[in-house]
């Protein structure tokens, strides 16, 4: 009999052709794996595994730890394919692990260009897989493909020029024979875009500019040449509806940030969700959450797709907890606005018109003197993934509650210099900094982190789980009504998804800043999450 290590190496060597796109589309039929960034192309982050339950989750124990050889942020969500786990240690190393023991099979190391320009850390949020190939975006704006069996480089495509501020930081999305990525770098005055590449050759198949140029629809929403430095970057993975053949992506803020004077107009397609034909990249519809954004309200949150009973019939909807503080329900076929309700305190808008355009509150704009805005610069939520449970019918949102920022605008418009920060102001928190040992000194009025559960049909909040500090963790729910998440205090915990009751927690010693996943190996259900500089995996006692 072969030893387990050899068996797994043989298994990895036979991976070719097994991870078909059909398998990714039907990922719910094999919940023992985690085949794409958000679990399925619908991005619900909901596992159908039920070995872990509210009754036994208190018996979870740490099984193994992978410690990254990096001090960068660890924001990657791993994939699991038939007993093999694939993750990224920042900035751009792909690591293949035994999902049962954590043993490293191979590591592919990529050295980014020293010309890379990044605003917010040398981060990578994960990989994509199809066939026997893994795909990773790099912080110097390349897209690379490696052999999933051994980490051998297959191709390396330049997406954009890093010296101008372009980067790729999110996990790619595979659709059919294409792998899709968007570019980060809005802080550097880039012109954002989303592009699709052939999975075999790395050749670009189509490109959609998130800042429309002359002759393109939406160009009129940018004054003069402001479109050339309009930002509207992409740094979180999108979703896909196979029945409609539409892929949905959230777009970041316009540039320059905070000061909108140099860019009069709505500034499409910044702060929007765009629905693109997956075969051609053609825009089918868009919805703009925050026109002419002056508060850094990137709409890069994950589009959550669900089919809900809506006003007497089944409707294909998109659920979107936006950084601007509102929870939206859109028709994902047409982009029609169905509902918008605040999920945190909001003072910059007083509701919506019939088309879903926010009604701006008088005087709530950045000024030289400063203006207090809710939610603050980090938003009511941010890039960290929510979860939707078809079992409970609730959407769960990682929330920064009651948090304000003082927004300050520069007196003069900033000068654009390629490769340098292109900002028109700043945001400052009026909340005093609090040491970890003094977290209990922060009042609710000053802000706190929370997980909030909402009924997406009504916008009604069902429960709240409060934390002492804020959270940067994504959320995982399961069919047994468990909810897994973490926080900046370094705790990883399980809640009852029905009522928010704490059921179990573990101290990991570092910020949880990624979405947990669940999978099975050796007949046991595991939960894995990144925290600090390590990846932790838990299961029930054998």
> What residues are annotated to the active site?
296
Count, residues in the chain: 542
Instruction: Write the burial class of residue 58 (CB in 10 Å: 0-12 exposed, 13-18 middle, 19+ buried).
Output: exposed
Q: Are 528 and 100 in contact (CB under 8 A)?
A: no
CA distances from 180 to 95, 126, 226 (A): 21, 13, 27
Query: What is the rounded CA–CA span in Å between residue 434 and residue 138?
Result: 34
Instruction: Write the burial class of residue 219 (CB in 10 Å: 0-12 exposed, 13-18 middle, 19+ buried).
Output: middle
- In order, the DSSP letters of 5-65 are HHHHHHHHHT-TTTB-HHHHHTGGG-TTSB-STTSSTT---EE---SS-TTTGGGEEEEEE
Q: Are 292 and 270 in contact (CB under 8 A)?
A: no
Coil, strand or helix at 172: coil
Query: What is the rounded CA–CA span in Å between residue 192 and residue 387?
Result: 27
Give the residue carrying structure tokens 């190393």.
Answer: 93
**Residue 4 DSSP symbol:** H
Query: What is the rounded CA–CA span in Å between residue 420 and residue 290?
Result: 25
Q: Which residues pair with 506 in a beta bridge?
A: 492
**Paired tokens of 540:** 């029930």
């Amino acid at each position: 009999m072969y030893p387990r290590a050899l068996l797994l190496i043989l298994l990895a060597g036979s991976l070719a052709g097994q991870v078909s796109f059909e398998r990714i589309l039907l990922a719910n039929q094999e919940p023992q794996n985690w085949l794409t960034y958000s679990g399925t192309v619908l991005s619900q982050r909901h596992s159908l595994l039920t070995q872990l339950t509210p009754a036994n989750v208190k018996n979870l124990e740490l099984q193994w730890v992978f410690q990254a050889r990096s001090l960068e942020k660890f924001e990657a969500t791993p994939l699991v394919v038939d007993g093999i786990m694939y993750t990224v240690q920042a900035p751009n190393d792909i690591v293949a692990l035994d999902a049962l023991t954590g043993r490293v099979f191979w590591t592919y190391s990529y050295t980014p260009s020293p010309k890379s320009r990044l605003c917010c850390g040398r981060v990578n949020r994960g990989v994509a897989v199809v066939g026997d190939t893994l795909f990773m975006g790099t912080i110097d704006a390349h897209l690379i493909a490696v052999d999933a069996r051994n980490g051998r480089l297959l191709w390396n495509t330049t997406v954009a020029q890093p010296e101008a501020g372009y980067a790729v930081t999110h996990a790619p999305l595979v659709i059919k024979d294409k792998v899709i990525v968007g570019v980060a770098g809005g802080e550097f005055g880039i012109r954002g875009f989303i592009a699709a590449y052939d999975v075999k050759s790395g050749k670009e198949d189509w490109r959609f500019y998130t800042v429309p140029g002359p002759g393109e629809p939406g160009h009129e929403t940018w004054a003069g040449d402001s479109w050339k430095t309009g930002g509207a970057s992409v740094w979180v993975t999108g979703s896909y509806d196979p029945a409609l053949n539409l892929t949905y992506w959230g777009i970041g803020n316009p540039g320059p940030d905070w000061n909108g004077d140099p860019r009069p107009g709505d500034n499409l397609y910044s702060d929007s969700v765009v629905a693109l034909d997956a075969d051609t990249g053609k825009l089918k519809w868009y919805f703009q959450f925050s026109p002419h954004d002056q508060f850094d309200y990137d709409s890069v949150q994950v589009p959550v797709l669900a089919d809900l009973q809506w006003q007497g019939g089944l409707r294909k909807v998109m659920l979107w907890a936006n950084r601007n503080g509102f929870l939206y329900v859109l028709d994902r076929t047409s982009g029609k606005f169905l509902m918008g309700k605040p999920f945190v305190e909001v003072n910059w808008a007083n509701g919506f018109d019939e088309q879903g355009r926010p009604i701006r509150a008088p005087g709530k704009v950045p000024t030289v003197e400063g203006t207090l805005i809710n939610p603050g610069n980090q938003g009511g939520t941010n890039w960290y993934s929510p979860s939707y449970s078809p079992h409970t019918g609730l959407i769960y949102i990682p929330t920064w509650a009651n948090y304000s920022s003082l927004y300050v605008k520069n007196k003069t418009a900033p000068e654009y210099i390629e490769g340098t920060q292109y900002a028109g102001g700043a945001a400052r928190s009026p909340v005093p900094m609090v040491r970890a040992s003094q977290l209990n000194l922060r009042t609710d009025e000053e802000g706190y982190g929370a997980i909030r559960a909402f009924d997406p049909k009504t916008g009604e909040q069902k429960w709240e789980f409060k934390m002492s500090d804020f959270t940067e963790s994504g959320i995982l729910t399961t069919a047994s009504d468990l909810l897994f998440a973490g926080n900046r205090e370094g705790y990883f915990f399980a809640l009852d998804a029905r009522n928010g009751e704490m059921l179990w927690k573990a101290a990991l010693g570092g910020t949880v800043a990624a979405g947990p996943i669940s999978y099975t190996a050796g007949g046991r259900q595991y939960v894995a999450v990144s925290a600090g500089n390590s990846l932790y995996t838990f299961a029930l006692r054998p």
